[in-house]
Chains A and B, each alone.
Chain A
């Protein structure tokens, strides 16, 4: 794609008065092309082979009823897509993903900002506290899931802690009650990923010039006003990129749910990705599974494009959108 873009560039206008310079330019153009070819080819080959082609192949599979064995013969058109969207389990799964995404933004974001502001202040044991907040993020998702699965069993660690501090009345069947399980998972997700948001925002806070705070203070702004009107607006780009990562992560949520609940009980915590694995691999319905994968891909892709276009435009100008 890149080499095509280069060849379609309008030919350099002839420079009649400087033939020598024209030669240099031609040589340097050749060099640029060589450099581009050299640097881009490996990445392009890998990207094409491992991303674009599989997506294309998945689209083809999704049009067949196919259990993974033998040739593709049973063409069903868009039936797999119709089946997916008309099934209440998959509808539920989309709803669960959206709920997790929404909760992430309205719960995790303020929490991350608060923690980041706190940890940005000079306080005793700051490095230690930062480490504590960040530690869960370093754990693998599978390890996190197994630890919490064990702690959340009835009469397990979490229940004992609650009873120990006199909150025994709040004890629930965390993973077994269909009306609670998704929120339980959300708490675990928050525990795991809050550190990432905090680190990102702490980095963003380093970019807030101290002079601006001082100026605001001199103008008589309270601490709250300084934070609200100076610091948070300057954190905008960081917040926007965090929302982007968080929503994409929520849409693709898999490992944690798969290990902790397998999407149960009674599909109360199924996500699009667990549904995909359940139906694609466990049931040997690779055609249908591919259709679900394509749906998941399209949802993420459309969100990514729209978000880039409308929310991230200013932040990424020049980097992703090209110089105009």
Chain B
């Protein structure tokens, strides 16, 4: 049902349009005001972005900004509407992957392949998620990666000396923690997306990088390694590593959430993104939280063909629309430059896209994740983001249902082909 033809057509139209812009279109020469929708509605990032916009205006007097911070949820509804209308924002939050490919159908997203060719090199693999059909339609300014956050104090109590590196070691750690009367792993199952991290990582560890890339390209999980990943996940769930009633637990709200459980020493581990310490700090009185937290990547799985350095993650980026693509492109270059990258790294709100800025990260764990990310042979986008939006959400739902005891590895795998075929 999902026809690829219109997409190609619109992509071609967008290319043609952007091609004009790249050639020094007169309309982008004069003073422009860029409308900028970003998702940092809280401090410190909210004022950092404003500051960065103001500074850019000082050095580029022709470019001014109307900055509009919006909640993440608002982007889901506002971006499609804006891209349908005649006055979309010139610059807006872009998570890349399948959603970006969806948005391409509007024909209003600017192709910055040429404009960025001079400066996108150092971003390396990080820029890949913002490509559609080999062309660059946005850039990340911060990356994110998922891994296990753990409490060193609880690991010590349970007699675990070093963080697990293999699945067997993880299972052993879970058993030790249970014996010590500690909830091994907290999981915010109510929100569904934390469940998807588990399936994502079992797939990343089971499947070769080629199989992962092919799956995303073809929007299908038909390679047997994905079914095997589901079976491994099932075996892992059968060890009952999570807190009671985890399918009803929110991920980030209140002390009873999965982040709250970890922050208040009610659980020893959580598989979460690099943003986790920020979330946890708001949920506990413990001022010394950072020193108690450690991080380790998802362990390798016996018999898996996956490269154990591969990380599951994503990133925050921006896309430009076609109206003021030239000025917007220049601003993007500024955002991924050393200077801004260092400012962003200091806030600890994500991982820098430039290696030079890693040293500016405040915590050791963030440096550790950043280094792991630089070393990774491949960065696997969260599957719900990598796939077209409807497919990604269908996959998340199938995974969440599986965690709640409904369906099996095959239903997870089939949910992708079904949704891709247009079935509801």
**A interface residue numbers (CB < 8 A to B):** 65, 67-70, 73-74, 83-84, 87, 146, 149-150, 152-156, 173-178, 181, 261-262, 264-268, 278-279, 281-286, 288
A residues in contact with B84, CB < 8 Å: 68-69
Count of A-B contacts with CB under 8 A? 123
Chain B residues within an 8 Å CB radius of A286: 80
Closest to A288 in B: B424
B406 CB, nearest partner CB in chain A, Å? 4
A-contact 0/1 string along B188-219, CB 8 Å cutoff:
01111000000000000000000000000000
Let me know if B76 and A261 touch, CB within 8 A: no
> Could you say which residues of chain B place their CB within 8 Å of the CB of A155?
244, 256
Q: How would residues 1 to 40 of chain B score, 1 for a CB under 8 Å from any chain A CB and 0 otherwise?
A: 1010010001000000000000000000000000000000
Inter-chain contact A265/B80, CB cutoff 8 Å: no
18 intermolecular pairs with C-beta atoms under 8 Å apart: A67-B389, A68-B81, A69-B84, A70-B10, A87-B424, A146-B254, A153-B249, A178-B404, A264-B192, A266-B400, A266-B405, A266-B406, A267-B401, A278-B397, A283-B393, A284-B76, A284-B80, A284-B388
| Beta-carbon contact of A266 and B404 below 8 Å | yes
- The answer to whether A146 touches B253 (Cβ under 8 A) is yes
**Contact: B400 with A265, CB < 8 Å?**
yes
Q: Whole-angstrom distance between the alpha carbons of A75 and B292 in the complex?
A: 57
Q: How far is the CB of B190 from chain A (nearest CB, A)?
A: 6
B248–A181 contact, CB under 8 A?
Answer: yes
| CB atoms of B254 and A285 under 8 A apart | no
A242 to B102, CA, bound (A): 45
Residues 226-283 (chain B) with a chain A CB within 8 angstroms:
243-250, 253-256
**Contacts A173-B245, A264-B400 given; does A153 touch B256 at CB 8 Å:** yes
Residue from the list A87, A262, A282 in contact with B76, Cβ < 8 A? A282
Q: Which of B62-70, B103-111, B151-159, B327-335 sits within the interface? A: B103-111
Q: Give chain B residues whose Cβ lies under 8 Å from the Cβ of A267.
A: 401
Indicate if B160 sits at the interface (CB-CB under 8 A): no
Q: Which residues of A sit under 8 angstroms from B405, Cβ to Cβ? A: 178, 266
Check if A70 sits within 8 Å of B6, measured CB to CB.
Answer: yes
Closest 5 CB pairs of A and B: A175-B248, A176-B248, A176-B245, A153-B256, A68-B80
Q: A69-B106, A87-B424 are in contact. Are A150 and B191 (CB under 8 A)?
A: no
Residues of B with C-beta under 8 A to A278 = 393, 397
How many Å lie between the Cα of A149 and that of B400 in the bound state?
Answer: 19
In the complex, the answer to whether A265 meets B248 with C-beta atoms within 8 Å is yes
Are B394 and A283 in contact, with the CB atoms below 8 A?
yes
Partner of B243, one of A70, A83, A154, A178: A154
Let me know if B103 and A69 touch, CB within 8 A.
yes
Q: How far is the CA of A189 from the CA of B192 in the complex (A)?
A: 24
Contact, CB under 8 Å: B105 / A70: yes
Query: Cβ of B422 < 8 Å from any Cβ of A?
Result: yes
- Closest chain-A Cβ to B52's Cβ sits at a distance in Å of 29
Contacts of B293 in A (CB 8 A): none
CA distance A181 to B250 in the complex (A): 15
Asked whether, in the complex, the Cβ of B189 is within 8 Å of the Cβ of A70, the reply is: no
Question: Which residues on the A side are within 8 Å of B291 (C-beta)?
Answer: none
Instruction: Please state if B105 and A67 are interface contacts (CB–CB under 8 Å).
Output: yes
Contact A70:B190 (CB < 8 A) given known A149-B254, A156-B256, A283-B389:
no
**A265 in contact with B404 (CB, 8 Å):** yes
Nearest B residue to A279, CB-CB: B424
Count chain B CB atoms within 10 A of each CB in A87, A177, A264 and give the residue with the most.
A264
A73 B6 Cβ-Cβ under 8 A: yes
B77 at the interface (CB under 8 A from A): yes
B51 close to A (CB within 8 Å): no
B378-415 vs A, CB cutoff 8 Å, 1 = contact: the mask equals 00000000001110011001001101111000000000
Query: Does B423 sit within 8 A of A, measured CB to CB?
Result: yes
Residues in A with CB closer than 8 Å to B400 are 264-266
> Smallest CB–CB gap between A121 and chain B, Å?
40
CA distance A84 to B397 in the complex (A): 16
